[in-house]
Structure formats: structure tokens, C-alpha cells
Structure 1
Amino acid sequence: MQVHDDIEAFLAFYESLPGPKRLIGYSKFAERHYAQDGLYGPGTWLVFGSETSGLPTMAVEAVNNDAGNSAMVKIPMQQQHVRSLNLATSVGIGVYEALRQLDGAVLPDATAAPTDTPAAKKLWGGRFTGATDPLMEKFNESLPFDKRMWAEDIRGSQAYAKALAKAGVLTDEEAATIVEGLARVAGEWEAGTFRIVAGDEDIHTANERRLSELIGALGGKLHTGRSRNDQCVTDTRLWLLGALGRVRASLHALIAAAADRAAAEADVLMPGYTHLQPAQTVRWSHWLLSHAAAWQRDDQRLAGLLPRVATLPLGSGALAGNPFGVDRQFLARELGFHGGVCPNSMDAVSDRDFVAETIFTASLHLVHLSRWAEDLIIYSSGPYRFVQCSDAYATGSSLMPQKKNPDALELIRGKGGRSIGGVTSMLAVLKGTPTTYNKDFQESWELMFDAVDTLHDCVRIATGVLSTLRIDPEAMRRGLSADMLATDLAEYLVRRGVPFRETHHISGAAVKMAEDRGCALSDLTPADLRTIHPLFDDDVAEVWDFARSADTRDTEGGASHRSVAEQISKLRAYLEQNAV
């Protein structure tokens, strides 16, 4: 027995424990029944409060925030007005139920030092006689993050069982039993009742262990000719195929939102900037479509990546291939690997290029989203006030009541910076590894999951921001100034045969004249302009029309109304032709 000074000391002790673990907190206010199947396993700690006040808040929060399948449970009471059950009675009920579910197994002492007992139920334990250091168990395990690939691991194993039957290693009946057993394991994951136990170091071990519990020794045949080296990368590719499809669907929604707003607000004019200085007249829609064009390239990169992700490594074994003649083309068809089969078994278990490409592609898209966010942050600031984020995507200040901060945009910008670090980390992981599989690759999962999750979140947040953004066309119009038409003034003379290099200097002289007089460029009369060059006629006044300026940029991809409509049409056609 170990005595802790308080709940805080116990929780610190709990956090230091290696291996699978969970907290079961008992409270009359919980919803879950204390005797629900699958609640208790090795590594479970039962937490009770006092009879007078129940569990302290810190303990409840620890249970609710713990990542190890922890839960709050209640022991039903007949009398609703009874304050609580006797503490000793409650502990006895809880401990009895835990032991019942464990079938009377004796729980190991979590504080004990490692002993030289044989390694149990590990896929690789045959030649080991000493126990693994508990810290090494925790250091080595990947289940806390690779369990999100449980469905892909089961799909791959079901397909592999069929391939083993096709190769004559399993009978059809054995394969059917394994496939059905794996479906039962999947059902437990879906229902949230799958029980993680000590020794489940990764998703492959956990699923195979549970399969063998359900169907007996036959489960041990599933791994015939297969290694976790080809199994884990198969799971990764399968998961990534599904995840990238979901990201692309969300990205298409973002591009569609940009196209819809561009069509609805095509008449809104705004200043265009270079070097963050006012430059020329553009349309708000033209600005929107400039970012949509970058997002379209991002989607094309994701689409181009998919065939390299959808290449089958299963059947490569540890590195040298499969000795039982499994049909890899059958496996590729069964699992939807449209990119075919990895051509070399050593490369198949070694290749993580597709992970590096994914992280880079995610990072580049987040760079594009960051630049879009930066523009909107500037446009929403005091000197501009062109746009305003909706309340759903902004926050206030704890001190200044007037503030409305574009936090969603700032977080997108910040996450873009963090994503670049993921690219560097992934390349560094790969750089020093010798040929074929190395445990270093385990680090790629967390980098990949973080990159894909962050990208997907940012794309959906960006879609929400863009769809609810309020614009102020009048503020945009006020941002336009006559000096932004200086290039149009130069082009006026170009149309009268004067070389542009000369008209550039002439227009510059007109800008200088207006500055010297302290007036706007458009306040100069035709007579004033003729003192600079004789070809300025009275119709030069037409130059000072901002809408006309935008519409003169009527080439493909330009700022004219017609060109903007054409860009919208092309973007919508792209989305239709590349629907996901």
C-alpha cells in the first residue's frame, strides 16, 4: 500500500505510471453504470471521494480529461434523497466488480520494479527472457496515437486473411472465421467498448490479441508471412487515403465559398496593393479569386499525391517479401490501392516519402491560408475597416470592451508557422535512417496526424470565416485615391502613340505637380496636363473613373468584370470536374 498526501499527489503519481492505465471515478452524479462491461482492466485505478462531499473537483477533471479510456460511473441508489452510500460499501462494490470483469486476475503492483520474468503476449517476445523496463514500455508504445487507425488495421487484416486463403495457407472456413472475428473487434471499437490491456503496445498487437480471445488459436495464423513492417505502413496509407479525401472535400467547399462570394460581390471595387502600398484599382472579387487560385493549386497537389499514397506495401514481409505466394495484386484491388503495388519489398517497408509529401503539401496550403488570413487581419484593422469577422470567429479583450479581435485568422496564421516545423522534423527523421524499416518511423505518425488534423481544422475554420465575413464596400471605395490612376494616365498617352517609357515619366511629372500644389491628381485640369505634354485632350477626365480602370484590365485573369466572371466560371468547372 502507498499513501499519498492528497489527491494532487496521487494524480502526479498516476501520471508517472507507464503502460496502459485508466481512472474510474465514482460519483452519484455520473451517468454511466459502474458494472458496464469492459470498464475494468489491468492498470485501472478506482477513485472515491468522501461520504460528505464526494470526489473533489480536481479528481473529476482528471478523470474527464484523461486520455486512457477513463470514466465517471455511479452505483445506483434506490432512495434518491439519500446523500451517499457508505464509503466502505461503495469501495467493496467497485472492487468486486473490477475483479469479476478481470475473472479474478491479480493486478500487478504498478510501483514494482521490473523483474526478470518472461515477456508475455508480445508479437516479438520469443527470444527475450528479461522483462521490459516499464519506462521503455511507455517509450516504445504507439497505441495512444496509432489506435486511430483501428479500422484500417482491421480492413488490412481481413484482406490479408482472404489472400492467405487464396494462397492455400488458410482454408476458406478459417479465413471466414478470421474475417468475422475481426468484424466483431471492429464492432467493439465502434461501440467504444474495446478494452486496451497491458501489452497492447500498438494497434496491430491490440487487434490481434483481441481476435485470438474471440476465436482462439486460429487468430495466431493471421500473421503468417506478414510483418508489422508491411502492416503498419499499409495501415498508414489506408488511413491517409481516407483523411486526404476528407480534406479535399473541405477544401472544395472553401474554394466554392470564394467563387460564390466573388460572383455575388463582383461590382465591389477596392484598392490593390504592392509592398503594402496602394497600387491600382481591383475588384474585391479579384482579390478573393487570387487566393482561390492558390487553393486550387493546393488541391491539385493533393490529387497528384494520391496515387503515390495508394501504392500497396502489404505482402512485402519484414523486408524480403512473402514466402507463401500471396497475390499482391489481389490485395491491391481488395483494399482500393489504385496506385498499384510497391515494386520493391525493401523500399516498400522503408518508404515514407508519401508522409513527407503530405506534411509538405499541408504546410504549403497553410502558408497560403496564412497569407489570406494576414490580408484579412490588415483589412479588418483600424486604418482600413474593409471587412469584419462575424462574432462566431472573433473574440474580445479582457480589458478593453471596444475590441473585436480576429482570433480565428490569427490562429490560422500561427498554425501555418508551426506546420513548417513539421516538414523539417519529418525530413530529419528520414535523413539518418538506413534502408528498410527502422523504429524512427514511429515518429512520423504523430507528425502526419498533426499535419492532417491541423490542415483540416484550418480549412473548415477558413470556410466559416469567409462565408460569414462582412464587407464594407464604401470603406473600400474610400480607400481608392486618384494617385492609383497614375498608370492609367500614362496609358492614356500610350493609346496616342507615345512610348510607355516616356509616358511613365510624363505621368510621374503630373504626380509631382499635384503634390506641389497640394491637390489630388484628378484635380489637375486638361490645361494643366497639356503643360506637361500636348497630347492630353479634354477626354483625359475619363481616366479618373475607378471602375473604368479595373475594366480596362480585360485580359484573361485580369480585374475586369468580364474577366472576373470568366475566372469564376473556370473555378466552378474545375470543382465539378474534380468532385470528391
Structure 2
Amino acid sequence: MAIWSNNYHQPMTNSAFQFNQSITIDDRLLTADLKGSIAHAKMLGAQSILDKNEAATLVQELEKMLSQYQKGTLEIDYSEEDIHSFIEAELIRRLGKIGKKVHTGRSRNDQVAIALKIYTLEEILELKKLILKVIKALCEKAQEHLHTVMPAYTHLQRAQAVTYGHYLMAYVEMMRRDVGRLLDLEKRIQEGMPLGSGALATSTFPLDREYMADELGFTSPSLNSIDGVSDRDYSIEMLGVLSTIVMHLSRYAEETILWTSQEFQFIQLADSYSTGSSIMPQKKNADVHELIRGKTGRVYGDLMNVMIIMKGLPLAYNKDMQEEKEALFDAIDTVKLILSLIPGALEASKINQDRMYQAANEGFLNATDCADYLTSKGLPFREAYQITGNILAYCHEQEKTLETLNLAEYQKYSDLFTSDIYEVIDLTNCVYRRRVMGGPAPERVQEHIDCVTKWLNQL
């Protein structure tokens, strides 16, 4: 027969308590927890699980705490284990015996689960607002540069001419997809309200979970109580969306870093978004953009952290999940900070239009247009491609460009060339003639901006 040690009922050591506590991390869940607790208390009264006056007293005091917190007058006791314990302890301190009834029919497990979901939904709204500001800033900058010709790249080699406006709108599309992913996630979170799941097997009290779901703005309760308290898919998905967002921003930051270098000189950063060297007075470093690029790995690490936490957990709740919150909060904070910087940095950047055009005018970016010219005259594209390649080899040998070749030199390679070739290979015409939907012609980019503006106004 097993006999418990006399030490079994000893209080937790301070070091073990500090290791176990999470209130210094999850205190940001206070608002979300209060909202969940208010819905739970209302339901307890509506279902006559508690006396209606008692339930009303609980709701009134919880709402008072919410108001005090929003005003900055609610003092959190950080000696409590977590924010959920603090709220219950504070209710008991204020209401005595009635405060002890708030936890009727509820477990810490579903209490934490609903608070995390409410918090995540609120952060989705904040992230969406920040992304929309970035999209608006990109559109405004693109509007200014519908006619700013620049080289576009593949393999980091100059490929074809576009405009800076066209380039910026590529990032607009990335960010619009990010908004779509957030909205998709929002819908999935709203379909599984976990409150009422209890520890893992609901409750013997006649809880009305549909009532609570409606109170909290969810479309339905979770359909399995075990999954209700152990589900962290939405957290992983949120981290995945955040990783995609920050990946897009990192690509933008990387190109900005390249383009502000002496080798490119496409963009000049304002001092307000760059730093100087501690020893070399001629240097201006794109430190803000480098940190954006660097912090991307941090968000990826948060995602991997939670994936590893969850991969081996048996159902249902396990204390390991406490670690998930810190990673989620860190990723949200990091991405929000980065998003908040982009509009200002974009506005403060100076575009060197002359240098962009000069770079586009180097490297035979109009070679495809030359081949297309021959194709338009009836020559199969592969033959036109080969002839253009031979012309480019000749240009390299003679240190000429397609623009400086005379007509006789062109006609040595094909008698299909006539004087209209010079109009076709004009760099600006190369851009303006690409009027296919989604292309760099100014009218197409303008249509794209108008489409996005309409989309923004409808959100």
C-alpha cells in the first residue's frame, strides 16, 4: 500500500513557483479573459445555474474591472500564478463568497482557451489595420512613379524594363493575400468557441454554449470538448500567417538595402530611417531595413517553437502549452512593430529616377523586344531569339547597344529589320507597349491602383 510522504502537502518552493508562473507573460490577456468571464457569468444567470442577482453582481464587477483596466487604474497583483488566477482572486477580494462562484461550470483549461482565441481575434483586427496602411502607402508611392522606368530582375540579373510603380504594386498583391489569410483564419477561429469545454469533458451543469458563443461573437461552439481545450491550430496558423507577412516585408527590406548601396544607387534613405557609421563618416546604413530582415528569423523561430511544443502532446491540456503563448505574443509584437515602420520609411525614401533609367538602359533590357519585333514580322520566335542573340554578341564585340547599331548592321542578320526597329527598342516604349493586364504600362498600373483603392474602400 502506497503511503504519501509528509512532504506531499508542502507549499511550492519559490523557485518552482517562479518557473511555473506565467502572469508576467499573459497579463496582456486580461481584457480577453474578462470578456470571456462576463459571457460565462451572464450564461450562469440565464441558465439559473446561479441566482440571477448573483450573476448580475458578477457581471457588474467584471465590467467594472474591465473599465478600470482600460483607464489604467486596475493594479495587477503579480504574485498570482497567471492573469486568470488574478481575476478570480480579485473578484473574491471584492465580492467575497459571490466572487467564488464565477468559476462554476468552468475550468482553467477552457478559460485560457477562450481568452487566447479572443486575444488572437483582436490582434487579427490590429494586424489587418496595419497591413492596410502599408498597402495604402505602397499605392500612393506607386501613383507617384507610374512613369519611373527601372530594371526588373531575375536571378538578380537585369532582365526587362518596368516602372517603380509596377514594382511596388507587386508587394501590394503580396500584402493583399496576407489580409486574405488573416480573414480566413478569423473565420476558422470564430467557428470553435471553446468555453464550456471544461477541463476536457464539459460539465454536469446545463451550460448554454451557444449563448456564450453568441455573446462573444463566435459563429458556433467547438464541437468536441477535448479538442476545445487542446486545440492550438489557430495559434500555429496565426504564426504561419505572421511568418508569411514578415517574409514579404523581409524581401522588400532586402531590395531596399541593395538599392540604397553605391552599386545600385536607386534609393536614398532619409536620416530618420537610417544610421551613420561609428568610424566612416561617408556611410549611411539601412539599419532599420536590416533589422526587419533579421527579425524575420525570430518570427520563424516562434512558429517552429510552437510546432515542436505541440507535436508530441497527448490529449488534452498539458502545461507545455503555456510556452505557446510567449511565442505567439512575441511574433505578433514583432510583426506589428515592423508593419508600423514601413509607411514612414517608404514616404521618407528618395527615388533616384535618373539612375534607375540609366540602369535600365544598360544590359540590353530591350533584347526581348527585338526578338518580338522579328516574331511580329512572321519569324518563328526561336529563330528570332537566335538572331537577337547573335546581334547581342556582335554588340559586345563592337561595344555598341541595340540603339546605336545602324540599320545596315541589323539587316546583316535579317532583312526583316526596317527603320521602325528603333521605335520598338526605345526603352520607354518597351515599358509602355506592355499593356497586357498585370503589365508595367502606366495605364495598366493605374488600373491596378484603382482596383486596390476600391478594394480598400470596401473593407
TM-score by length of 2: 0.96
Q: Secondary structure at the match of 1:280?
A: strand
The Cα of 1:397 is off from its aligned counterpart by 1.1
Q: Which moved more, 1:527-536 or 1:174-183?
A: 174-183
Output aligned runs, 1:341-420, within 5 Å: 341-420=221-300
Is 1:167–1:324's contact at 8 Å kept on the other side of the alignment?
A: no
Residue aligning to 2:144: 264
Match of residue 51 from structure 1: none
Whether the 8 Å CA contact 2:370–2:424 is kept in 1: the answer is yes
> In the alignment, what sits opposite 1:228?
108
Does 1:333 pair with 2:217?
A: no
Cα distance in 2 between the residues matched to 1:197 and 1:496: 81
Q: Tell me if the contact between 2:23 and 2:78 (Cα under 8 Å) persists in the aligned partners.
A: no
Partner of 1:541: 422
Equivalent residues of 1:363, 1:419 under 8 A apart: yes
- C-alpha distance after superposition, 1:306-343 (max 9, x if no partner): 012223100110000122111111101111113x2111
1:434 and 2:314 matched: yes
Following superposition, the deviation at residue 576 of structure 1 comes to 2.1
Quote the offset at 1:553 in angstroms.
1.5
Amino acid at match of 1:480: A
Could you tell me which of 391, 405, 408 is aligned with 1:510? 391
CA deviation vs aligned residue, 1:421-465 (integer Å, no higher than 9, x gap): 111111101001001111111111001101111111111111221
Q: Deviations over 1:347-390 (max 9, x none)?
A: 00010000000011101110111001111111111021111122
Please say if 1:148 is aligned against 2:24.
Answer: no
> For 1:144 and 1:547, how far apart are their aligned partners in 2?
59
> 1:503 corresponds to which letter in structure 2?
A
Contact 1:266–1:564 (Cα < 8 Å) also in 2: yes
Residue equivalent to 2:195: 314
Tell me how far apart the structure 1 counterparts of residues 125 and 239 of structure 2 sit (CA, whole Å). 15
Cα RMSD, aligned residues only: 1.5
Q: Cα 1:508–1:306, aligned 2, differ >3 Å: closer, same or farther? A: same
CA distance in 2, matches of 1:421, 1:147: 23
Q: Which residue of 552, 557, 573 maps to 2:438?
A: 557
Q: How does 1:199-348 map to 2 (within 5 A)?
A: 200-310=80-190, 311-338=192-219, 340-348=220-228
CA contact (8 A) 2:109 2:229 kept: yes
User: Given the two structures, how large is their TM-score scaled by the length of structure 1?
Assistant: 0.76
Quote the offset at 1:193 in angstroms: 4.5
How many pairs were matched up? 452
Q: Is this contact kept in 2: 1:367–1:417, CA < 8 A?
A: no
SS in 1 for 2:284: coil
For structure 1, the 5+ residue unaligned runs are 1-115, 118-127
Q: 1:443 aligns with which of 318, 323, 327?
A: 323
Deviation of 1:565 after TM superposition, in Å, equals 1.1
Larger radius of gyration: 1
Q: Which residue of 2 aligns with 1:496?
A: 377
* AA partner of residue 63 (structure 2): A
**Cα contact 1:166–1:326 (8 A) shared by 2:** no
Q: CA deviation at 1:246?
A: 0.6
Q: Out of 256-265 and 340-349, give the one that drifted further.
A: 256-265
Residue pair 2:434, 2:441 contacting (<8 A) in 1 also:
yes
Matched, 1:162 2:42: yes
Stretch of structure 1 that moved more, 217-226 or 417-426? 417-426
Alpha-carbon distance in structure 2 between the residues aligned to 1:284 and 1:435 = 52
Shift of 1:521: 2.6
CA contact (8 A) 2:24 2:78 kept: no
- Per mean C-alpha deviation after superposition, the further-off stretch among 499-508 and 130-139 is 130-139
Choose which of 506, 510, 523 in structure 1 pairs with 2:404: 523
State how far apart, in whole Å, the 2-side matches of 1:453 and 1:368 are: 17
Tell me how far apart the structure 1 counterparts of residues 15 and 326 of structure 2 sit (CA, whole Å): 20
Which residue identity does 2:47 align to in structure 1?
A
The answer to whether the aligner puts 1:481 opposite 2:398 as a matched pair is no
**Mean CA deviation greater in 343-352 or 461-470:** 461-470
CA contact (8 A) 1:143 1:201 kept: yes
SS at match of 2:177: helix
Q: Which amino acid aligns with 2:91?
A: L
CA contact (8 A) 1:370 1:413 kept: yes
The whole-number CA distance in structure 1 between the counterparts of 2:152 and 2:66 is 55
Over the matched positions of the two proteins, sequence identity in percent amounts to 37
Give, in whole Å, the separation in 1 of the partners of 2:54 and 2:302: 44
Deviation (angstroms), 1:192: 4.0
Change (3 A) 1:196 1:249: closer
Q: Report the alpha carbon displacement of residue 186 of structure 1 after superposing the two structures with TM.
A: 2.8
Q: Deviations over 1:492-532 (max 9, x none)?
A: 11110000000000000110111111222321111101001
Is the contact between residue 262 and residue 285 of structure 1 (CA under 8 Å) also seen in structure 2? yes
Structure 2, unmatched stretches of 5+, are: 1-5
Q: Quick one: higher RCO (CA 8 Å, sep 6+), 1 or 2?
A: 2
Q: Distance in 2 between matches of 1:494 and 1:372?
A: 36
Is this contact kept in 2: 1:489–1:543, CA < 8 A?
Answer: yes
Counterpart amino acid of residue 281 in structure 1: A
Greater share of helix residues, 1 or 2? 2
Superposition pairs of residues 72-111 of structure 1, within 5 angstroms: none
* Paired letter, 1:565: Q
2:3 corresponds to: none
Which whole-Å CA distance do the structure 2 matches of 1:244 and 1:198 have between them?
Answer: 27
The 3-state SS of whatever aligns with 1:372 is: helix
CA distance in 2, matches of 1:298, 1:352: 20
| CA distance in structure 1 between the aligned counterparts of 2:170 and 2:75, rounded to whole angstroms | 50
Once the 2 structures are TM-superposed, how far is the Cα of residue 129 of structure 1 from its aligned partner? 2.1
